[in-house]
Amino acid sequence: MPQAFRNTFLTLRDLIVSAGPLAFLAVGLLVLAYWWLNPNPPKKVTLATGPAQSAYEEFGKRYQKALAVDGIEVVLRPSDGSSHNLQLLRDGEADVAFVQGGTAELLPDDADNLISLGSLFVEPVWLFYRTDAAERAYNVSRLDGLRQLRGWRVNVGSEGSGVPKLMERLLEANKVEPGAVKMSRLEQTPATVDFLAGKLDALVFASAPESLMVQMLLQTPGVQLLDFAQHEAYARRFPFLTPVTLPRGVVDLAANVPTRDVRLVASTTSLLARDGTHPALLTLFAQNAQKLHGGSGWFNRAREFPNSRASELPIAKEGDRAMNEPVPVLQRYLPFWIANLIERMWLVLGILLAVMLPLSRIVPPLYQFRVRSRVFRWYGRLREVENDLEAGKTDSAELLKALSALEAQAEKVSVPLSYADELYALRNHIHLVRKKLLRASEGAESRPTPDTNHP
């Protein structure tokens, strides 16, 4: 091996051995902190949506597409609706879910186990009825209240949607006796088929206007949408309801659909999550909620949603940050997983740096000791030769032989150039001891031999 390469190799080896324990400690602390903080989210998350062709399903697909950009697979879990979604969260079968306010009873421990990422949009109560049914029952084409549903065949949706419970409360407030309305609990698609076929007189949805069923029925001839003339009074009686108005012509300006302003009552849908859901996933959902629900709609102006005004559960800090603060600087310029890693690890990195900087001061002295020890350890042997010389216990020839062996070993020692003076000092001292040994040897030879035969 060329001497230059050998010197470089030895220098690197000394550096690694000197700084190795400190580097190993730093890496160990980083691994421990990473394991404890778990900064990067799982690659798969389950989102409970709703029935087929519902607004929940449509929004679920939008979240699925948005999170796929950051490498997160969103598994859509169909359900019967809000009540079912809430139960899926409680049972751990979903991580995130759409839940409509007022359609399900919250349990006492829900506030400890569930969190909200904010209210996303309003879901009006759409009560569609057949014009011929109104004419047949009251000789009018339009109804003016829920009390006129007595004796009608009305589908209120599946039990898991929460709409049956909501309708029971609204009918009770209108003093409609239980059983006075023939309520069925079919899912949206079969209920719509029966309604259009005349097997049902009315059907009820609680859905965002993005629902395909809602948009289709709003433009179907012979189908009317109930006008809740007392919508302000409903909002006073039921805190989870909000009075909204479907503006004239908002569905189709050219066809003037609807032909008049329609007053409705609406509940607010929130995005809920289990308390143990990874914070990075909550951040992604909350940030994408700003993009998906922040625009204007039939019942709101731009940037009115998401908000925290109608939340029935504690707002997650990730949701609050997304609603009230701009996107973090790192996330604007770096991939999400890198920005998230830095944001969640920066405190640990700062603490680690504060601890390791003082400890790193021991590395230069340790490195210096290792390099100089390769030279200084031969001084011990040199001292032994010199002591033997002074004591006269060993023959000069043997001492010269030992000194030559020591010098040969010193010739093989390699040190960095910055420590070459130590090596040359060792060789110089060997030379001095050799001269001293030679002088002593010559002096011994020049002294006369005593005459033992002289009387």
* pLDDT at 357 exceeding the cut of 90: no
The reply to whether the predicted model has a pTM over 0.75 is no
Whose CA is closest to 374, among 329, 428, 423, 340? 423
Find out whether 163 and 84 touch, Cβ atoms under 8 Å.
no
Instruction: Report the pLDDT averaged over residues 161-182.
Output: 90
Six-digit token string for 137? 């029952």
pLDDT digits (tens, 9 = 90+) for 220-279: 999 999 999 999 999 888 877 889 999 999 989 999 999 999 999 998 889 999 988 988
How far is the C-alpha of 307 from the C-alpha of 356, rounded, in Å?
44
Instruction: Report the pLDDT averaged over residues 395-411.
Output: 79
* pLDDT at 7 exceeding the cut of 60: no
187 — pLDDT class (breaks 50, 70, 90): confident
How far is the C-alpha of 441 from the C-alpha of 80, rounded, in Å?
108
**Which pLDDT score, from 0 to 100, does residue 455 have?**
46
* pLDDT at 319 exceeding the cut of 80: yes
20 — pLDDT class (breaks 50, 70, 90): low
**Which pLDDT score, from 0 to 100, does residue 15 have?**
65
Tell me which of 20-24, 92-96, 176-180, 269-273 is least confident: 20-24
Q: Which domains does the chain have, with CATH numbers?
A: 1-37+358-444 (no CATH), 55-325 (3.40.190.10)
**Which pLDDT score, from 0 to 100, does residue 326 have?**
83
pLDDT digits (tens, 9 = 90+) for 34-53: 666 566 788 999 999 988 87
* pLDDT at 21 exceeding the cut of 80: no
Tell me which of 5-14, 98-107, 396-405 is least confident: 5-14
Q: What is the mean pLDDT of the chain?
A: 83
**Which pLDDT score, from 0 to 100, does residue 288 have?**
93
Find out whether 223 and 134 touch, Cβ atoms under 8 Å.
no
**Which pLDDT score, from 0 to 100, does residue 182 have?**
94
Question: Higher pLDDT residue, 390 or 194?
Answer: 194
How far is the C-alpha of 129 from the C-alpha of 56, rounded, in Å?
23
Percent of the chain with pLDDT over 90: 37
